[in-house]
Amino acid sequence: MIAPIPSPTWQPAAARVIPIAAPANLRTRGLVPEIVTLSWAPKSSADHFDFSLDLSAILDATGDHIALIERVDIPTASGDPTQLTVLWSSIVNGLACIMLGGGAPGETEEIIVYVVTQQGRRLAPKVLLAVTSETAATVPTPAPTMSGGVPVPPNAIQLPSVSILTDEDGQPYLIA
């Protein structure tokens, strides 16, 4: 499998990376595993931050790597214009990285990141994100998009003509 290519232009914030550990095989010993709740550091509604998942521990010794983020769901989203919104998602330096904006102050949102690996594994970690109540609800600023409405992540390959290099489906090619 192809290992991740380090992004030369943009790095995810280390403080907002959650490592996803392989679950302990406790059932073979007759034990019930503890359920661990994953949570990112809180953000205010006005913040536009990147949040990442590091799946390298789960994929360790398999030779597998993340191929794509299939989708990101926020089942707790309210439908309001200020709701927590995924501005873009991308694979950056081997991490599943998403940019989030907005959110209802004082609420804790649930985010499910659906990831597919190069060998076809499908993972869907669920992470909680608290939106602080220090600021008022804010409508998220949209990410830059291409003509078809596809968001442009920071590691998209940009040509000298300033256009974004895309595949046959109109998705941007990434330095990933």
Q: What CATH number does residue 94 fall under?
A: 2.60.40.1220
Q: Is the pLDDT of residue 35 over 80?
A: no
Report how far residue 139's alpha carbon sits from residue 150's, in angstroms, rounded to the nearest whole number.
19
Strand partners, 28: none
Average pLDDT in the chain: 88
Report how far residue 104's alpha carbon sits from residue 102's, in angstroms, rounded to the nearest whole number.
7
Asked if residue 5 belongs to a domain, the reply is no
**Six-digit token pair at 84?**
């927590």
Q: What is the pTM of this model?
A: 0.86
| Residue 80: count of CB within 10 angstroms of its CB | 12
**Residue numbers of the domain that contains 27:** 14-131
Asked if residue 109 belongs to a domain, the reply is yes
More confident residue, 145 or 129: 129
The predicted structure's pLDDT at residue 9: 75
Q: Is the pLDDT of residue 26 over 60?
A: no
The predicted structure's pLDDT at residue 25: 63
